[in-house]
Amino acid sequence: MKKNILALLVAAAMLTGLISTAQAAFPEKPIKLIVYTKPGGAIDVFARKFTAVAAKHTDATFVVVNKSGAGGIVAIKYILNQKADGYKIAAVTRSNIGKIVSIGGKIDTNEINWMGLMVVDPEAVITNRKAKVNTWDQLVADAKAKKGKQIWVGPAAGGNDHIMAMKTWKAAGIEAKWIPYAGGGKSMAALMGGHGIAYVGNPQDVIGRPDLKVAAIASPKRLGGEFANVPTFEELGVKGLNNEIMWRGFMSKKGIPAEAEAFYLDLLNKVNNDPEWKAYIEKGGASPVMMGAEEFAAVVEKDKKEFTRALKSLGVLK
């Protein structure tokens, strides 16, 4: 009996040693971090900042790879078509969920490992401060004068920003046209070039772009810092847009090794608690958070239902 117990203890010790070795071994090669926009977009900047801060907490090498197209569908399909080895992850946003819903659910979100949600960012209407129309009141007056011909720009038809634009038009009692561009960078360039009157994005989109300004913010109260003077929709008399957000986080294909899961959970928590990361996020008017896989997956399911309701009510989905 004693021999059997000893054998079990030895086996358990050996197994523990093997698991520890495996955990320590990941990663053994560079990790591809897929970004669904071209360089310069908000999610691209987010991903590259993450790798810079992560470098303080791990020796792992991250290689950012831009795979733009279809509002994130190209990037997500790429991840799902790869081996679930933990060496390919993607930066994702709430807009991706809207796009998945808008194309009829051709991507099964249950195949995705929602690794961590790290940022919550209020939606905003952004204008060109050099244009004649750049305040919210001017925007509304111009929209009514143009009777549906006013042009708004942004990334991805059917994405979070597009739906936010449609919600805004409905709440404000105006009509406009949505012209999608390949990513936030090109959308903002279009706005600065006079090809549109408004851009839907997030406050951080105007940082480093002095020609742009936030005309209205979808937040229950005003933000701080450089956005302290930006009015909320509620202040502007527009109801029902107090809590429209964009979240940002990371995903992989479901089924990655346990040691990879442990590595990422540890790293995401370390980055989330890093003062440099917090300062970067808060400077853009957003809030750093940390939701693990289970909580993140619940947020995604809730968003899928919300996007489905919104797209049906707006006539985008049957």
pLDDT (tens digit per residue) in 133-187: 999 999 999 999 999 999 999 987 778 889 899 999 999 999 999 999 877 888 9
The tokens describing 159, both together, are 């994405």
Could you give phi then psi for residue 242, rounded to 5 degrees? Answer: -80, -25
pTM of the model: 0.82
CA dist 126 and 217 (Å) reads 9
N-to-C CA span, the chain: 68
Q: What is the pLDDT of residues 75-87, one digit of tens each?
A: 999 999 999 999 9
Q: How far lies 7's CA from each of 3, 14, 18, 222, in Å?
A: 6, 11, 16, 65
- Domain 8-121+246-313 of CATH type 3.40.190.150: yes
Architecture of domain 124-227: 3-Layer(aba) Sandwich (3.40)
DSSP 231: P
pLDDT at 316 over 90: no
Question: Where do the structural domains in the chain lie, given as residue ranges?
Answer: 8-121+246-313, 124-227
**H or E stretch covering 10:** helix 2-25
Q: Give the span between the Cα atoms of 316 and 183, in whole angstroms.
A: 21
pLDDT (0 to 100) of residue 314: 74
Instruction: Indicate if 124-227 has the same CATH topology as 8-121+246-313.
Output: yes
Q: How far apart are CA 99 and CA 157, in angstroms?
A: 8
Enumerate residues 6+ apart whose C-beta is below 8 A from 147: 175
Task: Give the pLDDT score at 312.
Answer: 87
User: What angle do the packed helices 94-102 and 160-172 form, to 10 degrees?
Assistant: 80
How far apart are the C-alpha atoms of 285 and 224, rounded to whole Å? 7
**Predicted pLDDT of residue 14:** 52
